[in-house]
Structure 1
Amino acid sequence: MTAEIPGAPVTTEENARPRISSFGRRLLLLSSVGAAISNLGIILLVAQVLDVEDNKEFLVFWALLFGLFGVQSGIQNEGTRATTRPSARGARVLAGGAAWGVAFAVLIAATSPLWASHMLPRSASSAVIVLVITALLYPIYITVLGALGGRGHWEWFGSTLLVEVGVRVALVFLAAGIGASLGGFEAASAAAVLTLGAILLIGRVPRRALLSRADVPLPRLLRHQALAMLSTACTAVLINGYPALVSVTNPQGSLGLPPEQSAALMGACMLAVSFTRAPIMMPLTVFVGVAISAFVGHRGSIWSAVRKPFLLLLAVGLFGGAAAWPIGPWFMRLVKPEYDLPGWYFAALTASSVLMAWLMILGAIALATNRHLLYVIGWGAASAVGAMCLLLPLHLTVTTTLSVSAGPAAGILILFAALQRRQRVQEHADVASAS
């Protein structure tokens, strides 16, 4: 009988991961496209049903909800990395997810008196309850997703995402059908996380993934997850939670317009940002887990790793920007006649989404190489620059354009320079060891 070495890789079926199949790739593509279309469809539907003031508040709630998802997605990213090469003495990833769920739920409940009535004045009480329940359960859900990715079960990963997307759409359309109020739409938007129970009930693979081991003991796993969430918190400021950032930096009346016009302009800008970035950002967000898993073993140059996706995204962004100029204003007026924005705004926002996508790819490389601090610095700089742009005494269309362009550009410069420098240092070390 051989002695078990602490920290040694698991030698059972846990690290015998299948490569992603063509069916798995199709499921991931379908789930990513479905997520993008469904989120846009939900935002569009709610904008049609609610009045201007309620719709503005729903967009803020949506940003808070998906901002929470964005922050907690660090648990998924770390779970993918930690379960790719698990340890026999590593902690169960479920323990980390459950601990963070309780922590987030307590934090939101305790701090809600400081922000709820200001950001969500029409639905503060019900919205806080929804956010607390979601904060408790969502870490368990993404723990399953992270472990499915780390173990190579991409078919289940894609299927689980499809189920969540389908349930969210069904619940929101049901809310619209029964004439739900603002609070009803908020609850419907978040309730899809409850599908976790059904997924675990019917699937042996997700249940086993939830019980997967990480590569480190629980204290280190929690620290790694905290760093990963600090990283994704910086990401969420400019992506998932961006409408909430716009609301905070431009309180009602600060635009020099009557309240109703101010709400219409803010709502229109929030929708424009969501519509123009979703075609690129939503699929890329879903594929971050795949990217992290792929970059773990990457040995080439940074440019060789990013050249093809960078050029592809640039082509998509330029084509999309040209198309968005004439289509954007027309489409926005179809949503609500009050939402009147110029064509250049849609073109600029669409083109700027390329910068955000590039930043996400470089961030995935930083996470894959376990450089969480670099990720935080890069995305933190992007978020800080983006927030400062929103505080400029200019029209909201100008400040938001500057924010989503200059912020990501700053993060790209920092991440690319640091990753390139690390590559040169590693090459010199390899040469020295070989000689």
Structure 2
Amino acid sequence: MPSNESQPITRTESLAILVASGFGALSALTATWLANRYLAPSEVTEFLLIWALIFALFSIVAGVQTEATRGVANVQIHSAQPKSHALAAPLVVGAAAALVIGLTYSLWGPHSRIPIVVIAIGIGLYTLHYGLVGALAGFERWYLFSALNGGEALIRLSSLAVAGLLFGSLFSFELAILAPVAVWWFALGMMSRQGREALWARTDVPVPRSLRNSLFAMGSSTAAAILMNGFPLILSASETPSRGSTTYLVMGALILAVSICRSPIMIPLQAFNGVAIAAFLRHRSTPLKAFAKPAGAVLGIGALGGVAAALLGPWLFLLIYPPKPTATQAYAQVAQPAVLGMLTFASAFMALLTLSGSAVLALNAHRGFFAGWAIGAVGTVAVLFTAPLALIPRVIVALIIGPALGCAAHLWWISAASRHARSEPQDSPAPTVRS
């Protein structure tokens, strides 16, 4: 039965989510380390671009997770009337995504060593994975939520290790990216009572409205993909160096640096995104106040992380990613204290955009959610393509300016919603800002 007796997340539940996010970070780090170890320098950049593409597509369909969390949590926390199955919209979106990718990939996708149909089916299945993750967050089943995310990362980690140690080919590395998506989400969902409950979860809107909300969220996650997972692809499009050139190798090293500097703050935050939405739902009457405390913590962590990266980053970067002789000069340009420190600090602005987006989504303001992410993405792309700066400083400025603009848009939307709520008569319920 739905209940509004929602409880804050416990320390052990938080620890479980942190451990799962740690596996995700380890998986990403292992992928880049193994690629740098076993592939030629030019193949490293090629692998990172395919990795970026697949995870950008993952990020786009991840919009179904936030909608599933919001709808299921509204039923469970605020006793809203259940109106449809929460996984109905992810099922439709996943099938459509697989079909579109399968039919059009050859027109826009970079060359892949694995068949296009494998990528298409993988993205479709991953959409259902995100739907189940969202439903579990809506139920606040944080242990199973952690097991689903952590297990997925462990399977990918194991697959990458096999790809590197036994095969060492670009084909095997690319295939390992998609290894966890085939059965893990469904198997784990069926193996436990809570998993089966999430598979049959109900949401507070009919299927057409759930699809509409999911598409708004996917529009936002498309913008998020540009800023995060797909950033290397946008960077490559803005620079277009010839394969094997110094600039091409610098770009590969810079992609590695952006990834490793961003992971410590972004991977845990993304893992806690469902927690954040549920928390903001409990504080819908004071959204700015609810946002202020975690925002301050994020900025503090970003500043401290930036100092630590400046002091230790160059040594750690070259220790983790020892360059091959032909790439030594390119890696030296990136492994600088100022570069790694500023890239780490820039990740705080991406974290703020993610947090403010969760706060807006808790108000059911899907247009505001989309607007903030879209402004952030447009700002980042505009800086990358137009700023009269060299490659490395241009990337740093883009990663700060775009997310800062997007966060400001989200905060404006939250402030407008709060003013609207205060203007309502005292005996009227506080309205939910709808899209």
Structure 2 segments unaligned to the other structure (5+ residues)? 430-435
Deviation at 1:356, TM superposition (A): 1.0
Q: Deviations over 1:126-146 (max 9, x none)?
A: 153332121110111111111
1:262 corresponds to: 247
Q: Deviations over 1:320-372 (max 9, x none)?
A: 11121233333333313322223211111111111111111111011111111
Structure 2 counterparts to residues 382-401 of structure 1, below 5 A: 382-392=376-386, 393-401=388-396
1:210 aligns with one of 199, 209, 233: 199
Q: Tell me if the contact between 2:284 and 2:362 (Cα under 8 Å) persists in the aligned partners.
A: no
**CA–CA distance in 1 between the matches of 2:9 and 2:389?**
48
Q: Does 1:368 align with 2:362?
A: yes
**CA–CA distance in 2 between the matches of 1:43 and 1:161?**
20
Residues 358-367 or 326-335, more deviating: 326-335
1:156 aligns with one of 139, 144, 150: 144
1:412 corresponds to: 407
2:309 corresponds to: 324
Residues 37-46 or 400-409, more deviating: 37-46
RMSD: 2.1
The one-letter code sitting in structure 2 at the alignment partner of 1:93 is A
Give the direction of change, closer, same or farther, for the CA distance of 1:169–1:125 in structure 2 (3 Å limit). Answer: closer
Q: Which runs of structure 1 show a deviation greater than 4 angstroms over 4 or more consecutive aligned residues?
A: 13-19, 430-434
Give the direction of change, closer, same or farther, for the CA distance of 1:29–1:65 in structure 2 (3 Å limit). Answer: same
Deviation at 1:302, TM superposition (A): 3.7
1:3 corresponds to: none
1:5 corresponds to: none
**CA–CA distance in 1 between the matches of 2:2 and 2:421?**
32
The one-letter code sitting in structure 2 at the alignment partner of 1:401 is I
Residues 416-425 or 139-148, more deviating: 416-425
Structure 2 counterparts to residues 28-427 of structure 1, below 5 A: 28-86=17-75, 90-116=83-109, 119-120=110-111, 124=112, 126=114, 128-194=116-182, 195-253=184-242, 259-334=244-319, 335-337=321-323, 338=327, 339-340=331-332, 341=334, 342-392=336-386, 393-427=388-422
**CA–CA distance in 2 between the matches of 1:211 and 1:174?**
35
Determine helix, strand or coil for the equivalent of 1:222. Answer: helix
**CA–CA distance in 1 between the matches of 2:414 and 2:246?**
45
Deviation at 1:260, TM superposition (A): 3.0
Q: Tell me if the contact between 2:356 and 2:410 (Cα under 8 Å) persists in the aligned partners.
A: yes
Q: Tell me if the contact between 2:8 and 2:279 (Cα under 8 Å) persists in the aligned partners.
A: no
Q: Deviations over 1:253-301 (max 9, x none)?
A: 3xxxx73312211101111111111101110011111111111131453
**CA–CA distance in 1 between the matches of 2:402 and 2:49?**
21
Q: Deviations over 1:16-72 (max 9, x none)?
A: 766644432221121122222331232222222111111101111111111112111
Give the direction of change, closer, same or farther, for the CA distance of 1:127–1:319 in structure 2 (3 Å limit). Answer: farther
Give the direction of change, closer, same or farther, for the CA distance of 1:275–1:215 in structure 2 (3 Å limit). Answer: same
**CA–CA distance in 2 between the matches of 1:238 and 1:107?**
22
Determine helix, strand or coil for the equivalent of 1:240. Answer: coil
The one-letter code sitting in structure 2 at the alignment partner of 1:96 is A
Structure 1 segments unaligned to the other structure (5+ residues)? 1-11
2:433 corresponds to: none
The one-letter code sitting in structure 2 at the alignment partner of 1:244 is L
Q: Tell me if the contact between 2:68 and 2:87 (Cα under 8 Å) persists in the aligned partners.
A: no
Q: TM-score, normalised by structure 1?
A: 0.90
Q: Percent identity?
A: 32
Deviation at 1:89, TM superposition (A): 5.5
**CA–CA distance in 2 between the matches of 1:246 and 1:93?**
36
Aligned pair count reads 414
